[in-house]
Amino acid sequence: MNLHKIVNNSFIEASKQFKEKIFSSDKNFLVLSLSMESFAELFFPNKNNQIYPKNLQNKTFPELFKIFNDEEIHKVNEFKTYKRQKEWMCGRYIIKQLVSKIYSVEMKHIHVSTKTNGAPYLKDFPEKNISISHSGKYAIGAITLSNQTQIGIDIENITQPRSNEFCSIAFSQNELNYLKKEPFQQLYVNWTIKEAYLKLIEQGFHENLKQVEVLDNKIYHRGELMETSIKTTKIDSEYIFSVVSN
């Protein structure tokens, strides 16, 4: 069974309605993005308050209760801002969509849990590796189709300037020397690759950022070349994402 083809085809009509983008760049995983605006239009119609958090109740937001279970709804209601609520729900909605297409399971019965190190995982399908990221206008998620594959994903807005202080914290001297010779946007490519790799190894910011170096589209961890596959893709003129898989 070609899961990649089946899942990709099943999103054709949904993509027209929800403005989703399915990226089919590798036979071992799928990536789906969704704009935050589209998610808000779909689930929060005619709700003018875009600052304060929503109090999700079944009678006012019945469609969300078809997607998220009681534990997830409770967590959403604990967030202090609407922005954080939207980011959290949008990312998990993407993963639930992908899983529901692969396994034909209702989204409410798909549990996206979090490990102690913060990495998301599928409670009922632990053999499938997932990764979630969000930035500005978009949330994005990835799921593996091969049980042997691990994955990390990161999305960034390439139009937002980064300070010299950020660069000195985020990149090693080797990387800074490399980036000086490259176009400005390469900084964002390198940063998304680095973040995606840290998610793949489930370290996040628990690892020293300078111990992971991205040079010539290769990843070095503590000086050792890592055997990884890297794919960087542009969503639109403002956003790119990188996927790192083993």
CATH architecture of structural domain 155-245: Alpha-Beta Complex (3.90)
Residue 226: exposed, middle, or buried by beta-carbon count in 10 A (0-12, 13-18, 19+)? middle
Side chain identity at residue 180, one-letter code: K
What's 238's DSSP letter? Answer: S
Contact status, residue 65 vs residue 43, Cβ threshold 8 Å: no
Helices (H) and strands (E) in the chain, counts: 8, 12
For 223-243, how does the pLDDT look when each residue is reduced to its tens digit (9 = 90+)? 999 999 999 999 999 999 999
Other C-beta atoms closer than 10 Å to the C-beta of 26 total 19
For 112-134, how does the pLDDT look when each residue is reduced to its tens digit (9 = 90+)? 999 988 899 999 999 999 999 99
Q: Does domain 3-147 have CATH number 3.90.470.20?
A: yes
pLDDT > 90: percent of the chain = 70
What's 236's DSSP letter? Answer: S
For the ranges 17-21, 41-45, 172-176, 193-197, the lowest mean pLDDT is seen at 17-21
* Cα gap 94→157, rounded to integer Å: 19
Q: What is the pTM of this model?
A: 0.89
Helix (H, G, I), strand (E, B) or coil at 231: strand
Query: How distant, in Å, are the alpha carbons of 114, 117, 157, 183, 211 from that of 191?
Result: 24, 21, 11, 14, 13
Contact status, residue 238 vs residue 155, Cβ threshold 8 Å: no
Side chain identity at residue 244, one-letter code: V
Contact status, residue 141 vs residue 11, Cβ threshold 8 Å: no
pLDDT score of 16:
44
Instruction: Give me the residue spans of the domains in the chain.
Output: 3-147, 155-245
Does the pLDDT of residue 74 top 90, yes or no?
yes
DSSP code string of 171-193: S-HHHHHHHHTS-TTHHHHHHHH
Strand partners, 78: none
CA torsion sign for 135, 206, 153, 147 is negative
**Do the domains at 3-147 and 155-245 have one common CATH topology?**
yes
* Cα gap 71→111, rounded to integer Å: 10
Contact status, residue 67 vs residue 96, Cβ threshold 8 Å: yes
